Each structure stands twice: as C-alpha cells, then as structure tokens.
Amino acid sequence: MEVSNRVGKDQCSCSVTVLGLFCSLCFFHNYDLRNHKNVIMKTVIFPSTDRVLPPSFTKNLKKVDGNIGNNITMESKVSGSQPMSISWYKDDKEITSGQKYQLEMKETTATLGITQIEKCDEGVYTCRATNSAGFKESSGTLCVKEPPIFTLKPDNQDVVPGSTVVLKSAFTGSAPFTIKWFREDKEITTRGASFIKKDASSSFLELHSVKPSDSANYTCQVANDAGKVAHSAVLFVKEPPQFSMRLEPLKLVKNGQPLTLTCKVTGSPVINVKWLKNETEITSNDKCRLSFTDSVASLDIVNCSVDDSGDYVCVASSDAGSDHCGSTVTVKGVYSVFTFTVYLYYVIVCVE
C-alpha cells in the first residue's frame, strides 16, 4: 500500500496465505506523516503451517434410472488438496476403465460412464477420492428399467355364437405397467359383455355371449417407463348356416321327366349339407345326384317316377348351428284312356 503528499511518500505491504482455516498476516511498517518518521507497528501474527486438506464431496452421487440398452453417466464433484486419486466401485468391487466403463476426472468433476446398460449393471456405485490426508466416498444407486416383454400372447380363436371368449396375456419387465385392450383401434373398457382383469404381470379380456359381429382384431398393449409392446389376436365368431334362397314349397313334375331341387346357403365354413326324403336321408346314386358348390345345394333326379313323390328337406349344419328348408314333390303319372261300345239288344214280344 502506498501513501503520498507534497512532502513525500511511503508504503507498506502484507502477505496473506490461506491454508484451510489458518492464515498469516505480515505488516512491515508505516510512516507517520505528522512527525515525519517511521513508526514500528506492533502486530499479532498468526502462525501459518502448510496443511493438506482431505477430500470432500461438494456434489454427491445420486440415484440414476436407466433403460436397458441405453448409456448412462454418474457424476460427482470433489474438493481437497492435490494430488488426489479417484477410484470407482460397484457393490464394493473396483471398476476399471474399458469398453464397458469410462472413468474420467476433469478439474473437480469425477464421472463414470456405462455403455449399453443391462439388468446386471444394476447396483450401488461408489466414488472414492483419496489423498495423503485421507479418503472420502460418495455412493449412488443405478436402477435399470426393463421394457415389457410378452411371456404369453393372446392367441387367435374361432368360436361359435354364444360362447365366452378369454384372451390372455402375461409379461415381464419393470413395474409399474400401463395395460390397455383394443378392438381394432378403439380402447375397450369393462362394461356390458366385456370384462378386463389386470394384475402385476398378466391381464385378460373376457367377452361373454359373443356374436358374429364381435369378430375383429383384439390387441393387448403393455407399457412402462422403458418402452411399450403390443400383440393382436383375431377373434372369429362363426356364422350359423342360413338359407338365402330356399326350395320351392311345391314342385310338380311329370312321370319320366327330370327333377331339380336347388337352394343357396350362407354361413361360416365348414358347412355340411344333407338331403332327406320323407325323413330318410338320401345318398347320391346313378338316379339321384347330390352336389354342394359355391354355397348352392342341388338334388337332381334324371328320370322321375311316381315313387319319387314325397317331402324333400335340405339340412345345412356347422359348428355354429343349422338350418333347413323343404319342398313337397308330386310326380304326375300317365293314364291310358279305354273306349268301349255298349250294344243294346231289344226283344219284341207279341202277345195275342
């Protein structure tokens, strides 16, 4: 420090050394401007000793959440006297730098990088700072979150009307999960004939008294903080057979002419068709041919006779149900007309 006036100038100086909680102040002298002489100042000087500061963390490690396959970084800040060494541990086992782990110390920041974390990387990580005065540790937990994975997927189902359908799913991963069910793109909730059950690792969708109109794609979607998966199943509710074109109620043919009975049936495959005459099943033979092609059922008789008259019934059936229709067939015979002459004889008797 320097002071001056017209008469002259003088200066003094001091030094300050900060070592932890200790400092030393050295004042040399001062100049008395009034008396124009140097004055020796009596000062109290704190003794200074060189002190090595032990490590301390100004920023501790924190809990880190990471998703499987991602890269994560754990970071802490440390102070203290140099030289200082930094080491890292996982569950008390020392970590070395390499392809999996990247250890770095830049100024006062110590970082640990972990590449493509896996479930086995989960645990307690510790940063240890060491110098000649001692060591200090800071610990943080790495929690690795697993995305959902199906262990049981909903499967396709073909059912008959009126059935109860259960679509099941099970999954693994890190809880909590968000579970949703969809019919096509519309979310399903528990109401009416639909019931959804959810628990920690599974879910099912229950559909009661299903109808053909319930046929659709049903999807189970499971999500958590680490990701989302979905799987769809096709529900097919079979349509029972139904005649869209029925047999003619009455059919009249002449003796010797061909007879054809035709009807059309709709419904879900596989549909079986059989014919009955007077409640007795008909089989295909040389005289009678039976066919069922492109939903059309036909019965053909090549040369009808009076014996072919009767009640014919076509029955269509499948796993989903059955339907029938009938026709009464009359075969008209050919009648011969006989003519004859009646002769009348008259006898005339004369009586006298």
Tell me which residue of 62, 63, 1 sits closest to 27, measured CA to CA: 1
| Tens digit of each residue's pLDDT (9 = 90 or more) over 135-158 | 999 999 999 999 999 999 999 999
Q: What is the mean pLDDT of residues 320-330?
A: 96
The share of the chain scoring above pLDDT 90, in percent, equals 79
Q: What is the mean pLDDT of residues 68-88?
A: 95
Residue 47: predicted pLDDT: 47
Residue 219: predicted pLDDT: 98
Where does the pLDDT of residue 128 fall: very low under 50, low under 70, confident under 90, or very high at 90 and above?
A: very high
Top pLDDT among 328 and 31 is at 328
Own/partner contacts of 247-251, CB < 8 Å, gap of 24 or more, are: 247/312, 247/314, 247/325, 247/326, 247/327, 248/327, 249/326, 249/327, 249/328, 250/327, 250/328, 250/330, 251/327, 251/328, 251/329, 251/330
The DSSP code sequence of 15-43 is -EEEETTEEEE----EEETTTTEEEPPP-
Q: What is the mean pLDDT of residues 111-120?
A: 96
Fill in the amino acid letter for 33.
L
Is the pLDDT assigned to residue 289 strictly greater than 70?
yes
Angle at 331 between CA 327 and CA 333, to 5 degrees: 165
Residue 203: predicted pLDDT: 98
Task: Tell me if residue 319 falls in helix, strand or coil.
Answer: coil
The C-alpha atoms of residue 121 and residue 98 are separated, in whole angstroms, by: 15
Residue 17: predicted pLDDT: 43
The C-alpha atoms of residue 146 and residue 68 are separated, in whole angstroms, by: 6
Asked if the bond preceding 176 is cis, omega within 30° of 0, the reply is yes
Where does the pLDDT of residue 8 fall: very low under 50, low under 70, confident under 90, or very high at 90 and above?
A: confident
Q: Parallel, antiparallel, or unpaired for β 30-32 and 37-39?
A: antiparallel
Residue 20: predicted pLDDT: 44
What Rg value do the Cα atoms of the chain yield, rounded?
52
| Tens digit of each residue's pLDDT (9 = 90 or more) over 200-248 | 999 999 999 999 999 999 999 999 999 999 999 999 999 999 999 999 9
Buried b (16+ CB within 10 A) or exposed e, 100-115: ebebeeeeeebbbebe
The C-alpha atoms of residue 116 and residue 135 are separated, in whole angstroms, by: 31
Tokens of 208: 């009661």
Residue 276: predicted pLDDT: 98
Domains and CATH numbers, the chain: 2-39 (no CATH), 56-145 (2.60.40.10), 160-237 (2.60.40.10), 242-332 (2.60.40.10)
Residue 339: predicted pLDDT: 46
| Tens digit of each residue's pLDDT (9 = 90 or more) over 250-267 | 999 999 999 999 999 999
Q: Are 235 and 311 in contact (CB under 8 A)?
A: no
The C-alpha atoms of residue 159 and residue 182 are separated, in whole angstroms, by: 19
Q: Are 159 and 238 in contact (CB under 8 A)?
A: yes
Is the pLDDT assigned to residue 46 strictly greater than 90?
no
The share of the chain scoring above pLDDT 70, in percent, equals 83
Q: What is the mean pLDDT of residues 120-139?
A: 96
For the chain, the farthest-separated pair of C-alpha atoms sits apart, in whole angstroms, at: 222
| Tens digit of each residue's pLDDT (9 = 90 or more) over 10-40 | 776 655 444 444 444 444 455 555 555 555 5
Q: What is the CA 250 to chain-centroid distance, rounded?
A: 58
Q: What is the CA 160 to chain-centroid distance, rounded?
A: 27
Residue 30: predicted pLDDT: 53
Q: What contacts 79, CB < 8 A, 6 or more positions away?
A: 53, 55, 56, 57, 58, 108
Q: What contacts 71, CB < 8 A, 6 or more positions away?
A: 113, 114, 115, 116, 117
Mean pLDDT of the chain: 88
Residue 26: predicted pLDDT: 46
Is the pLDDT assigned to residue 337 strictly greater than 80?
no
Is the pLDDT assigned to residue 45 strictly greater than 50?
no
Residue 37: predicted pLDDT: 58
Q: What is the CA 45 to chain-centroid distance, rounded?
A: 76
The C-alpha atoms of residue 75 and residue 114 are separated, in whole angstroms, by: 12
Residue 266: predicted pLDDT: 96
